[in-house]
Chain A
């Protein structure tokens, strides 16, 4: 546990000492604020469904940029060798990097919560879908971060890591479309791999254990894959 905290602090410092983190948060807030304002004035309803979907799409593009350096940079600079030859477990390294990337995501979600506060002050929103939407966004972000981490472990090039992670995320987001073209039972399997299919219920106020289980499974599998990328040596 002590090693995990030491590594986490190091990762947090690396993330927040980089201008990338601030650029990402600024651009994210600008785009989310724009969407929120637009939806508020166009629809005049106290809900955040559109904001949640907008945030989800932004996460597909932003999170790979956060995770691209996590392992790729250490591999390129050779510091991974210093880490892996120290008396720390591979799982501690992976969990620290994963948790550090979630901190930035958590910060973005916390700042997005200001939209909900505005609704609460000036209207009487249905809080259920808002809570479930934030939970869904957090799970989606965690799944994308885990995918990004696993991809980052496969290469020493950060740009390649970002582009591939983005590709995997976007493909999983819209993979349900191809499900309609496939015969039974492949259509069900492919549709169930879709991020949007599991995110939509959260965004609209329905929490199913199956959706929760899906995101947790994606996270677990990707973290295990990340560990495998460290072990392949």
Chain B
């Protein structure tokens, strides 16, 4: 998968304070990357660097091979951005605003009308096309903001806290929309709510105090499975045996548990591979003492990575 978004040693400094501290990651085409972290962890700053709103103090940020500092207009043409709280012009009508944003993004005549109509339909804004933005509910304003971001068919969609201020029904709709948009284009979405990001993202980057603590594949664990096994036998040979099972993506030893024999955590592509794993252990001549499903708990991972640190008392 080719990377649409690349951050290399990205750093943003506000005076003595490091808002983003040497962050590096890449996001592939069609992938949904979630940035998770408490308020002030640097999520929005990273997004603003990619949109060209902020300049990085050092490091590079590239969108579809265009550097956001050296080639800002080309980079911005490839981004659709929905800032936090979806700021819009309250005095404009919905269609008037979308036409204005389409023109600003370089669309003309027929392509402009087609793009505005498509975005209006996609976000189900048809009945509201003449409505004044200032009179719309929070949920509809968010939809208008996403509609403008889709104009020009950008390779990358950046959504900053898209479910903020929405009611439960609107949150579910927004989640479905983000999932539907993923696959068609690359999406970076931020949230400080763990459950939200877990439901929509393929991978989650966990940030704290401007530092990237780790990146976790959520989709893999959502679609696949994790099995915890207690197996008697030579540790190296057991690991080798487990990793040879088709569909096993990772094998790790779980040191946290006090068991009579080593405990292994096996990540699989599909949850149905448990039987094959058990068979491999038995056929390999090892003693299978216990076996259970162990779904990845993002909350536990977040706590483990942050090590109980907080923004103020790290």
Does A82 reach chain B (CB closer than 8 Å)?
yes
Complex interface residues of chain B between 101 and 116 (CB less than 8 A to chain A): 101, 103-106, 108
Q: Chain A residues near B180 (CB, 8 Å)? A: none
Q: For residue B91, which residues in chain A have a CB less than 8 angstroms away from its CB?
A: 14, 17
* Nearest Cβ on chain A to B50's Cβ, whole angstroms: 9
Those of A129-161 within 8 Å (CB) of chain B: none
Query: What distance in Å separates the Cβ of B70 from its nearest Cβ neighbour in chain A?
Result: 15
CB distance B87 to A85 under 8 Å?
A: no
B53 close to A84 (CB less than 8 A): yes
Name which of A22-30, A39-47, A86-94, A176-184 contacts chain B: A86-94
- Docked Cα-Cα span, A17 to B89, in Å, equals 13
Report yes or no: A81 in contact with B53, Cβ–Cβ below 8 A: yes
Interface positions of B from 18 to 71, Cβ below 8 Å from A? 48, 51-55
Given A3-B104, A86-B105, A87-B105, also A81-B76 (CB < 8 A): no
Alpha-carbon gap, A214 to B83, bound state (A): 41
Cβ of A217 within 8 Å of any chain B Cβ, yes or no, is no
**B83 partner residues in chain A, CB cutoff 8 A:** 78, 81-82, 85
Give the size category of B's interface with A: 20 to 34
Instruction: Give CA–CA (A42, B253) in the complex, Å.
Output: 101
- B241 neighbours in A (Cβ, 8 Å): none
Closest B residue to A17 by beta carbon equals: B91
Distance in angstroms between the alpha carbons of A145 and B120 in the assembled complex: 38
CA A79 to CA B144, docked complex, whole Å? 13
In whole angstroms, how far apart are the Cα atoms of A88 and B55 in the complex?
16
Which residues in window 97-119 of A have CB below 8 A to B? none
For B108, the closest partner residue in chain A by CB is A2
Question: Which chain B residues border A79 with CB–CB below 8 Å?
Answer: 87-89
| Complex: A86 Cα to B103 Cα, angstroms | 10
Q: In the complex the two chains form, is A85's CB within 8 Å of B81's CB?
A: yes
- A3 contact set on B, CB distance < 8 A: 103-104
A59-90 interface code vs B (CB 8 A; 1 in, 0 out):
00000000000000000011101111111110
Interface centre among A6, A81, A85 (most CB of B within 10 A): A85
A50 to B97 CA separation, bound complex (whole angstroms): 45
Complex Cα distance, B218 from A185, in Å, reads 72
Is A10's beta carbon under 8 Å from chain B?
yes
B86 to chain A, nearest CB (A): 8
Task: Pick the contact of B76: A17, A78, A86 (CB < 8 A).
Answer: A86
Contact A77 B52, CB 8 Å, known A86-B76, A87-B77: no
Q: A77 to B87: give the CA distance in the assembly, Å.
A: 6
Mask: chain A, 183-227; 1 = CB below 8 Å from B; 0 = not: 000000000000000000000000000000000000000000000
Could you say which of B51, B55, B85, B100 contacts A85, with CB atoms under 8 Å apart?
B51
Contacts of B103 in A (CB 8 A): 2-3, 6
In the assembled complex, the Cα of A88 lies from the Cα of B72 at a distance in Å of: 10
The closest CB in chain A to the CB of B148 belongs to A82
Which of A17, A77, A87 has most B Cβ within 10 Å? Answer: A87
Asked whether, in the complex, the Cβ of A6 is within 8 Å of the Cβ of B100, the reply is yes
Write out the residue numbers on chain A whose beta carbons fall within 8 Å of the beta carbon of B90: 77
Given A84-B52, A84-B53, A87-B77, the answer on whether A78 and B87 have CB atoms closer than 8 Å is: yes
B73 at the interface (CB under 8 A from A): yes
User: Are A82 and B106 in contact (CB-based, < 8 A)?
Assistant: no
**C-alpha gap A167/B101 in the complex (Å):** 36
Instruction: Pick the most buried of A77, A79, A86, A88: most chain B CB atoms within 10 A of its CB.
Output: A86
Minimum CB distance partner of B79 in chain A:
A85
Contact B104 A233 (CB under 8 A): no
Nearest CB of B to A53, in Å? 36
Residue ID in chain A nearest B99 by CB atoms: A6
- Which residue on chain A has the smallest CB distance to residue B72? A87
Docked complex Cα distance between A83 and B53 (Å): 9
How far, in Å, is A78 (CB) from chain B's closest CB? 3
CB of A180 to closest CB in B, whole Å: 43
A233 contacts which of B55, B73, B87, B108 (Cβ < 8 Å)? B55
List of A residues within 8 angstroms of B101 by Cβ: 82, 86
A7 within 8 A of B: yes
Beyond A2-B103, A233-B54, 19 additional pairs, beta carbon < 8 A: A2-B106, A2-B108, A3-B104, A7-B104, A10-B89, A14-B89, A77-B87, A79-B87, A79-B88, A81-B48, A81-B51, A81-B87, A82-B81, A84-B52, A85-B81, A86-B104, A88-B104, A89-B73, A233-B53
User: What are 6 of the A-B contact pairs (CB < 8 Å)?
Assistant: A14-B89, A78-B85, A78-B87, A81-B83, A85-B81, A233-B53
Name A residues whose Cβ lies closer than 8 Å to a Cβ of B: 2-3, 6-7, 10, 14, 17, 77-79, 81-89, 233
User: Which residues on B are within 8 Å of A, measured CB to CB?
Assistant: 48, 51-55, 73, 76-77, 79, 81, 83, 85, 87-91, 100-101, 103-106, 108, 148
